[in-house]
Amino acid sequence: MKIPIKNIYYLLCYAWDCLAEKELVAVNSDDYHTLLDLFAKVLLNGCINLIKQGLDRNYLTESDTLTGIRGKIDIGVSIKKNLFITGRLYCHYDEFHQNILHNKIIKSILMQLLKTENLNQKLHNEIRSLSPKFDQIDIIQLTSKEFDIAQLQLHRNNWRYRFLLNVCRLIWENSLINEETGKYSFYSVAESDQKMGHLFETFIHNFYYIEQKQFVVKRDYINWNVIPIGDSSTDILPRMETDVSLQSQDKKIIIETKFYNDIFLKNKGVEKLRSNHMYQLFAYLSNIASRGGLNKQCEGILLYAETDKKIASSFQLGNHKLTIQSINLNQDWRAVHQDLLKIIE
């Protein structure tokens, strides 16, 4: 599926809920032809802003043998090393330092970019010129643990790091190293239907949360409208979860998002929608109706990222309106914005 680099960038900014942070590191995405170059430039611009404002610092506990007392004396180690007779002590003390986790992540990704194949040479040179500004910061071996939000300790005073750390994680998750050469290859998220499907779902949820005020936006958890027989228990039944649920005072809509390079499957030469998509939305509508109220007339939308074929069909299913709709992501972003708002009018 052909999606402009600029539009993928917008999808990510909505999905990360980082529209405000995006403006702080604004780049002209039309100038870049690959996501790798775009994200490298975003990271560069972001780092330049961080350096101008001052890299974040925090207190780190360090330990060393000292000639005076600093912080807390480690009596056990001092005795073990026989330091008292030399007039020295082993101490644990706090140092206010830049060498903290979120700075380590950014430096590690910058150094990884220098080893990444097909990176624009101008960007490569700019990263190399910037790297001395991170001399006091360590390079670390990254795992998913380092990107855990609890580990990062982000707060309102260092919120500007959030967007850049999302960019760092995306670069890390989509890079593979060649053990023989030590070079990295970057694989665009756009090449994976699974990754794009998750991105598309989160984007749609956050887009409607941000861009309209008519509906409350959430995800619904729907239980099966069944009555157990005998010793049977509904605990064994899977719980249904919607991608997006929109509810106003007089209307409710369930949206299920789908991202496939081919919306249709061919059956004996005839194009058909995937049956499991229809069954899934039907199950949501038929079971949520038992809650009463607006749920009885709840509308359902199967929303596809459009490939080379547009689809816009609506049906009446009992009390429910069922719409199969595609959204063309290969158009100017303002048109994407308008089309998405029209879908829920």
Residue 63's CB is within 10 A of a number of other CB atoms, namely: 13
pLDDT value at residue 254: 97
pLDDT value at residue 211: 96
User: For the whole model, what pTM was predicted?
Assistant: 0.85
Render the burial of 12-29: b for 16+ CB within 10 Å, e for the rest.
Answer: bbbbbbbeebbeebebeb
pLDDT value at residue 140: 95
Q: What is the pLDDT along the chain (345 residues), one digit of tens a residue?
A: 688 888 999 999 999 998 877 776 767 777 788 899 999 999 999 999 999 989 988 877 778 888 888 878 888 888 888 888 888 888 887 777 899 999 999 999 999 999 999 999 999 999 999 999 999 999 999 999 999 887 777 887 888 899 999 999 999 999 999 999 999 999 988 888 889 999 999 999 999 999 999 999 999 999 999 999 999 999 999 989 999 999 999 999 999 999 988 888 888 888 888 999 999 999 999 999 999 999 999 999 999 998 777 899 999 999 999 999 999 999 999 999 999 999 998
Q: What's the rounded Cα separation, in Å, for the pair 91 and 208?
A: 55
> What is the Cβ-side half-sphere exposure of residue 180, based on CA atoms within 13 angstroms?
0
Task: Judge: domain 193-343, CATH 1.10.10.
Answer: no
Q: What's the rounded Cα separation, in Å, for the pair 8 and 125?
A: 25
Amino acid letter for position 67: T
Q: What is the DSSP letter of 306?
A: P
Q: What's the rounded Cα separation, in Å, for the pair 206 and 39?
A: 21
Q: What's the rounded Cα separation, in Å, for the pair 24 and 42?
A: 10
Q: Which two tokens stand for residue 162?
A: 């959030």
User: Beta strand pairing status for 312-317 and 184-186?
Assistant: unpaired
Q: Using only C-alpha atoms, what is the Rg of the chain?
A: 26
SS3 115: coil
Tokens 């611009």 locate to: 45
Residue 210's CB is within 10 A of a number of other CB atoms, namely: 12
- For residue 189, what are the β-bridge partners? none
Q: What stretch(es) of the chain map to CATH 3.40.1350?
A: 193-343
Q: What is the SS3 string spanning 32-52?
A: CCCHHHHHHHHHHHHHHHHHH
Q: What's the rounded Cα separation, in Å, for the pair 250 and 238?
A: 29
Nearest to 113 by CA among 130, 137, 93: 130
Cα–Cα distances (Å) from 117 to 175, 178, 269, in that order, read: 10, 10, 43
Cα–Cα distances (Å) from 119 to 19, 128, 133, 183, in that order, read: 26, 12, 21, 11
Can you point out the beta strands (E) in 55-165? Answer: 58-66, 72-73, 89-97
Q: What's the rounded Cα separation, in Å, for the pair 207 and 340?
A: 9
Q: Are 304 and 327 in contact (CB under 8 A)?
A: yes
